[in-house]
Every structure is written in structure tokens, then in C-alpha cells.
């Protein structure tokens, strides 16, 4: 049974507390199906139900808060793997920049990235903070799985 089925008829939970929420897999599918890049997880934390009344109604349902980066790239943009070098110019990230939970760029160090990440960096507000260069003969870009279990905390 989906949480929706449990709470759709309970006005307090449905609209007042927001516990009907979005299912993370549905959210990811909707974003990708509507032309955005695969969401890249930036932050997650477990959410706790603290009142006895809500806990009783929701049972063993688990909640997590997730923050993603996702981008709408220009149509027809090339998604070619590349070498990138972070300049260290983003305020508050002079030594390193955590792009997502899987990818951290260290200032002045070249890194090989897959085609989608290269396209994101080249075609968004981040482009001015990176230098791009072609892959070298021994470079093998690795496409990391961005799928996460929000309850593995």
C-alpha cells in the first residue's frame, strides 16, 4: 500500500503536515521524463515523526528529506566526456567544490567526467568556474550511478 492510500482522506496529514510527500523514485522519473538531467543528490537526512497521533496514523512509514541538483540543458547539447579543472572561485568553496554526494572537485586538479556531467558544467552557471580540455589517450570516463536509497543514512 502506498502512503498516499493511507493519508489521502486525512486532511491534517495530507495538507497540514505534508506527510503525503513525493516518492523519490517518482520524482526522479518525472524530472528525467520532462527533459531534465538525472538528479544529483546533494543532501539527505532522515525525517522523524515526533507526535504520537501522527506516528499512530503513519505506522512504520519512513521519511527522508532529499536535496538534488538537476538541470534543463539546451536542446541538442553535446554530452561528451571531458577533463575538467575547478578554479576554486565559487564563494565558500575555495579548496574544493562538492557538486553532489558522489563528486567533489578539488581546486587545480584535473578530473575526468562523463558526458552528462561535462554538459552540465559547460552549459550552466558553473561554466565560468571550470576549464575544459579533451580526454587524453588513457582517460576512461566513469559514469557513476546516481541512484540512491534515501534511507541509507
Per-residue pLDDT tens for 118-140?
A: 999 999 999 999 999 999 999 99
For 5-54, what is the HEC assignment?
HHHCCCHHHHHHHCCCCCCHHHHHHHHHHCCCCCCEEEEEEEECCCCHHH
Residues of the chain with CATH 3.40.5.100: 82-133
For residue 50, give the C-alpha cell.
515526533
**pLDDT, position 116:** 94
Indicate the pTM of the whole model: 0.82
Class of domain 82-133: alpha beta
Between 146 and 75, name the one with better pLDDT: 75
Q: What integer best gives the mean pLDDT of the chain?
A: 86
40/147 Cα distance (integer angstroms):
9
pLDDT band at residue 49 using 50, 70 and 90 as cut-offs? confident
Given a contact cutoff of 8 angstroms between Cβ atoms, the answer to whether 44 and 148 are in contact is yes
Q: Evaluate if residue 1 carries a pLDDT over 60.
A: no
pLDDT band at residue 52 using 50, 70 and 90 as cut-offs? confident
**pLDDT, position 142:** 80
Amino acid at each position: 500500500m502506498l502512503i498516499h492510500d493511507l493519508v489521502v482522506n486525512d486532511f491534517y496529514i495530507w495538507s497540514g503536515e505534508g506527510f503525503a510527500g513525493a516518492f523519490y523514485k517518482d520524482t526522479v522519473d518525472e524530472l528525467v521524463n520532462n527533459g531534465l538531467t538525472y538528479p544529483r543528490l546533494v543532501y539527505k537526512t532522515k525525517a522523524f515523526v515526533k507526535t504520537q497521533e501522527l506516528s499512530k496514523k503513519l505506522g512504520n512509514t519512513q521519511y527522508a528529506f532529499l536535496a538534488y541538483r538537476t538541470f534543463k540543458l539546451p536542446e541538442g547539447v553535446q554530452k561528451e566526456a571531458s577533463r575538467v579543472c575547478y578554479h576554486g572561485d565559487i564563494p565558500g568553496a575555495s579548496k574544493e567544490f562538492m557538486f553532489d554526494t558522489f563528486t567533489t572537485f578539488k581546486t587545480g586538479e584535473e578530473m575526468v567526467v562523463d558526458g552528462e556531467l561535462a554538459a552540465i558544467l559547460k552549459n550552466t552557471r558553473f561554466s565560468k568556474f571550470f576549464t575544459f580540455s579533451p580526454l587524453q589517450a588513457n582517460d576512461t570516463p566513469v559514469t557513476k550511478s546516481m541512484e540512491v536509497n534515501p534511507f541509507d543514512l
